[in-house]
Amino acid sequence: MEHPYTCILFDLDGTIADSAPGITATLAYTFAEMGLPIPSPAELLAYVGPPIMDSFRDRAGMTEGQAAEALAIYRPHYLETGAFDSSIFPGIGDVIRAVHAAGIPISLATSKPEAPATVMLQHFGLLDEFDVVTGASADEVRSAKVDVVAEALMRLDSIGADVSRPVLVGDRVHDVVGAALNDVPTIFAAWGYGAPAESDGSVAVAATPAALQRLLLG
């Protein structure tokens, strides 16, 4: 049976993992450690998904030096505690296992650095379902979704995967845009953190993981 897509890229935060509690708590800790006002819960939620250095700059108005200081506080605290203050969305693990069982190559494609992303997948018992784990580089030079998607495709191609008909599953506008810049369509995960308008430009909107599985496997 020929499936609609030859390889599948999955975003992590808001698509696989309900990771907002750990991220927002770590952000609050970071702001407090820096002596800065802690944003409201709604404002902190907007940080979930996009590259964190972009959010420190664009949302918090930090200078490059302040953002680097914030990252140095945020990263070890998140890796120690925040990464585990999360859960997978009901049903998405079944989708990933079904895709893997169907023999379709899978890569993670997240703006989260690869170390915590790998820890989370291992914690959820999903790491072995992925052929490739692609995320932001440790120095955050590769963190924009366009660069992460390009890296994921390159890594899949390097292991012999067919990358002729890829698709990204994501929940934020930066997923849709970053994938499109690589000529990759996006299926929008409606259960995630993005507003409905963020799905503009996606090829489909999956209301549930079960609906997503039908779109991926045909």
Whether residue 2 lies inside any domain: the answer is no
Residue 177, in any domain of the structure: yes
**Whether residue 195 is found in the same domain as residue 108:** yes
In a domain, 148, yes or no: yes
Scan for tokens 């992303």, then name that residue: 117
Summarised one tens digit per residue, pLDDT across range 102-111 is 999 999 999 9
Q: Residues 179, 194: one domain?
A: yes
Q: Are residues 125 and 80 in the same domain?
A: no
Give residue 213's domain range: 7-18+87-217
Same domain, 127 and 172: yes
**Residue 109 and residue 28 in one domain:** no
Phi, psi of 58 (to 5 degrees): -80, -35
Q: What is the pTM of this model?
A: 0.89
**What CATH number corresponds to the domain at position 65?**
1.10.150.240
pLDDT at 139 over 80: no
pLDDT above 90 for 217: yes
When pLDDT is averaged across residues 34-59 and rounded to a whole number, the result is 92
168 and 70 inside one domain: no
Q: Is residue 131 part of a domain?
A: yes
Are 60 and 161 contained in the same domain?
no
Q: Tens digits of per-residue pLDDT, 54-96?
A: 899 999 999 999 999 999 999 999 988 888 889 999 999 999 9
Are residues 182 and 192 located together in one domain of the fold?
yes
Q: Is residue 146 part of a domain?
A: yes
Same domain membership, residue 96 and residue 62? no
Is the residue at 101 inside a domain? yes
User: For 156-206, how does the pLDDT look when each residue is reduced to its tens digit (9 = 90+)?
Assistant: 999 999 999 999 999 999 999 999 999 999 999 999 999 999 999 999 999
Spell out the SS3 assignment of the chain: CCCCCCEEEECCECCCEECHHHHHHHHHHHHHHCCCCCCCHHHHHCCCCCCHHHHHHHCCCCCHHHHHHHHHHHHHHHHHCHHHCCEECCCHHHHHHHHHHCCCCEEEEEEEEHHHHHHHHHHHCCHHHCCEEEEECCCCCCCCHHHHHHHHHHHHHHCCCCCCCEEEEECCHHHHHHHHCCCCCEEEECCCCCCHHHHCCCCEEECCHHHHHHHHHC
Domain boundary among 28, 54, 84: 84
Question: In the prediction, which pLDDT does 2 show?
Answer: 86
Is residue 126 in some structural domain? yes
Residue 107: CATH number of its domain = 3.40.50.1000
- 134 and 194 together in one domain: yes
Q: How many domains does the chain fold into?
A: 2
User: 129 and 75: one domain?
Assistant: no
Position 1 in a domain: no
Q: Judge if 109 and 184 occupy the same domain.
A: yes
Average pLDDT over every residue of 4-30:
96
